[in-house]
Structure 1
């Protein structure tokens, strides 16, 4: 994935899906990969978020893992993601997870 060259169809679809996540909801990396047509490409979604969030103004903070956990590696970004989600009305459980049954976006990316 070269951000300087033309984007691959999967990347274009991931960007589109991410931009459609409504405020106050989350999606999982795997959910985005499935909606983009590549169910086994959750790690690629991580790479797209990491490398293209600023350029495409993606709501990176609305993506969590399949357990509803924030998995951003550095502490400051993890705290920022939690703060941004809480500001949108997404609460966390005592063990630091988002209740996916209640706050996972039900949009189908189409």
Structure 2
């Protein structure tokens, strides 16, 4: 496994129940802020094998990015079971629900990535 992929898997595993990270947050925390699409690939290809909490990763707007209806419904249901609330626009309040692995105040440039 490549070092970036290994770091990303570790970070995704560390997201606690009831919290989310954006694809861009995971990429930045893994050392490559512009690699949000790589996080999508990692989640798609490795979630089952490594038992990743794939449902805790959302887009930069706090929305479920999965287009397939059944998976999108499953992701929302899993998040709601963990206490995550969606607003009327089908968004998660990232200020409330974002997880920051360093436990530091978020860097706003990190939040801008999808």
State the secondary structure of the residue aligned to 2:8.
helix
In the alignment, is residue 80 of structure 1 matched against residue 69 of structure 2?
no
* RMSD of aligned Cα (Å): 1.0
Q: Which consecutive residues of structure 2, in runs of 5 or more, have no partner in the other structure?
A: 104-114
Residues in 1 aligned to 2:71 and 2:102: alpha-carbon distance in whole angstroms:
27
Structure 2 length as normaliser, TM-score?
0.88
Number of equivalenced pairs: 103
Q: Deviations over 1:4-51 (max 9, x none)?
A: xxx100000000000000000000000000000000000000000000
Describe how 1:38-77 pairs up with structure 2 within 5 A.
Answer: 38-77=32-71
Q: Which consecutive residues of structure 1, in runs of 5 or more, have no partner in the other structure?
A: 1-6
Q: Deviations over 1:74-104 (max 9, x none)?
A: 0000000000000000000000000000000
Equivalent residue for 1:4?
none
Which structure is richer in relative contact order (CA contacts within 8 A, separation 6 or more)? 2
